[in-house]
Structure 1
Amino acid sequence: MITLSSTGWLLMVLAALIVGLSKTALPGSTALAVGLAASALPAKESTGTLLVLLMVGDLMAIRAYRHDADWPTLRSMAPPVVAGLLVGAVYMRVADDLAMRRVIGVILLLMAALNVWQRASRRPMAPAGGWASVGYGGLAGFTTMTANAAGPVTSLYFLSRGFDVRRFLGTSAWFYLCVNITKLPLAIGAGVVNPQTLVIDLVLVPVVLLAAVLGRRLASRISRKVFDPLVLLFTVVAALNLLW
């Protein structure tokens, strides 16, 4: 049986709060929830518990931004994401956890630096399709399979596409719901999602729902001048956490 101390429950409530906010207002901050959950639960159970909470957040985000997704971007990302998932599954068999985290952390820092340089030099925004879609999509599939760290990857790609806040959040919502639905049967088969993790989820789902509602109100008040730097900040924090 999974037992949580009062500190463990506090960490999980904070993780659920961040999940809700990340889905409707602050994309890229999900990596912080991953770290909190991993501190409160064993690795496998934290992954399974968080997966269900993320799907609840995805549904809330789609309810709020269902008409704002950029479908050409999503369609162009689908094949490389699948390829990235397969490569990640193979890589997990040959590399240890520390190596995976460091590789992903370095890649995220390089991509964040590239995004800053692109904006500073006023380079054109990345188009849907092409090498940008292949690179970001493949890396998103790889990182979500190996470290649940795809949020910063897709955030950087959507920033490079020049999306406004609603288009950004709507595209992210549909992307992650599809990815997480794909991962769910695998997680159940591996025992990562099980009756014990679902009991914890039942307690935490109301926190996700409340945070998602608050996040939607927050998003309507965030300008691009604030939103974009926040996304970059969360990306760098996630990368440093992986390297640490």
Structure 2
Amino acid sequence: MIVDPAFYAAAVPATIVVGLSKGGFTGLSVLGQPILALVMSPIQAAAIILPVLIVQDVVSLYAYWRRWSRKELLRTLPGAIAGIVLGYLLAASVSDAAVAFGIGVLSVAEAGRSFLSRRLKRTPGESGPIAAAVWSAVSGFTSMIANAGGPPLMIYLLRRPLPVQQFAATATAFFAVVNWVKLPFFLALGQVSFQNLATSAVLIPIAVLSTMAGVWLVRRVSPERFFGLVYAILAVVGVKLIYDGVTHF
């Protein structure tokens, strides 16, 4: 088990924000991996957070049971699985610097997309089956490499005419399937070690509580104000990771 205080200084906030995302504040999860990637290898961070995500999925699936869009899941899951397989095949050849750089670019892009969509008031329903296949494949790939599949999926789902509850439920169900599909690939990569699992176990109580808090808050707090600060933080973290990636190439 990891005992470095610096790791937990990053891991606890990362687990909380991912839990809030799983509870309904969809999109917030993109902060979790960048925060962890600041203190450790992105690949190891992905392996540690995966069991935590699976536990959070159980809680959030219970809260949003059968509220998801079956149509959107049928559109996106095949591409996601293809992206996961590609991520597994390329995991050994992708450097930590490249992964950090990629997460940073995705983080900044997601923050910029959020800002522009608010200004342009983009009409939902613009994305079709091709966009679903492309963005879900990118989501599966980045999720396999570094648990950063949130931004690509959000780019697609935010352009669909989904009510808030159905939007949150669809994203929850999508990543619940993705996380279970990734598990055997992480086993094959040798990343699911006793040390990583023991570290994950320490974070699980925080994960459950934060997910339940997210479910509670999503019905009581306006997401718009909350996401304003979240995306500002996301942009800053993304720029830092881009810098780290460039300087280590």
Band of TM-score, shorter chain: 0.7 to 0.9
Separation of aligned partners in 1, 2:118 and 2:11: 36
Partner in structure 2 of residue 25 of structure 1: 24
Structure 1 residues 33 and 111 mapped into 2: Cα distance closer, same or farther (>3 Å)? closer
Q: Which residue of 2 aligns with 1:207?
A: 206
Query: Cα 1:51–1:113, aligned 2, differ >3 Å: closer, same or farther?
Result: same
Matched, 1:34 2:33: yes
Bigger mean CA deviation after superposition, 129-138 or 31-40: 31-40
Instruction: Give 1:120 deviation, angstroms.
Output: 4.6
Distance change in 2, residues 1:44/1:89 (3 Å):
closer
Query: Hey, what's the Cα distance between the residues in 1 that align with 2:202 and 2:106?
Result: 35
Residue aligned with 2:158, SS: helix
Distance (Å, rounded) in 1 between the aligned partners of 2:89 and 2:108? 24
Query: How far apart, in 1, do the equivalents of 2:168 and 2:99 lie?
Result: 28
- 3-state SS of 1:160 partner: coil
Q: Give the direction of change, closer, same or farther, for the CA distance of 1:65–1:128 in structure 2 (3 Å limit).
A: farther
| Residue equivalent to 1:4 | 3
Determine the C-alpha separation between the residues in 1 that align with 2:190 and 2:93.
Answer: 21
The unaligned stretches of length 5 or more in structure 2 are 244-249
Moved more, 29-38 or 52-61: 29-38
Of 231-240 and 96-105, the range deviating more from structure 2: 231-240
Q: Which piece of structure 1 moves more, 208-217 or 232-241?
A: 232-241
Which residue in the other structure is 1:48 paired with? Answer: 47
For the residues of structure 1 that align with 2:183 and 2:144, how far apart are their CA atoms? 12
**Higher mean displacement: 229-238 or 132-141:** 229-238
Q: Percent identity?
A: 28
Give the stretch that moved more between structures: 129-138 or 69-78.
Answer: 129-138
Q: Is the 8 A contact 2:52 2:204 kept in 1?
A: yes
Quick check: 1:182 aligned with 2:177?
no
CA contact (8 A) 1:16 1:33 kept: yes
* TM-score where L is the length of structure 1: 0.82
| Between 11-20 and 211-220, the greater mean CA deviation after superposition | 11-20
For residue 152 of structure 2, what is the aligned residue in structure 1? 153
Matching of residues 216-227 of structure 1 within 5 Å: 216-223=215-222, 225-226=224-225
Shift of 1:197: 1.9
Report the counterpart of residue 172 of structure 1 in structure 2: 171
Task: Tell me if structure 2 keeps the 8 A contact 1:23–1:173.
Answer: yes
**Superposed counterparts of 1:96-175, under 5 Å:** 96-103=95-102, 105-106=104-105, 109=108, 113=112, 120-121=119-120, 123-126=122-125, 129-175=128-174
Q: Distance in 1 between matches of 2:143 and 2:91?
A: 12
- The code of the aligned residue for 1:57 comes to Q
> Comparing 154-163 with 224-233, which one deviates more in the overlay?
224-233
Distance 1:48 1:175, change over 3 A: same
Question: How many angstroms apart in 2 are the aligned matches of 1:161 and 1:93?
Answer: 35
* Residue segments in structure 1 that go unaligned for 5+ positions in a row: none
Q: 1:192 aligns to what?
A: 191
Give the Cα–Cα distance (whole angstroms) in 1 for the partners of residues 213 and 62 of structure 2: 14
Within 5 Å, give how 1:228-243 maps onto structure 2. Answer: 236=235, 239-243=238-242
CA RMSD of aligned residues (A): 3.0
Aligned-pair CA distance for 1:221: 1.6
Is the CA contact 2:107–2:235 (under 8 Å) kept in the aligned structure 1? yes
Distance 2:208 2:234 in 1: 24
- On the 8 A contact 1:72/1:128 being kept in 2, the answer is no
Q: Once the two structures are superposed, what CA deviation does each residue of 1:52-84 show, in whole Å capped at 9, x if it has no partner?
A: 001111111111111321110111012222232
TM-score (norm 2): 0.80
Counterpart secondary structure, 1:191 = coil
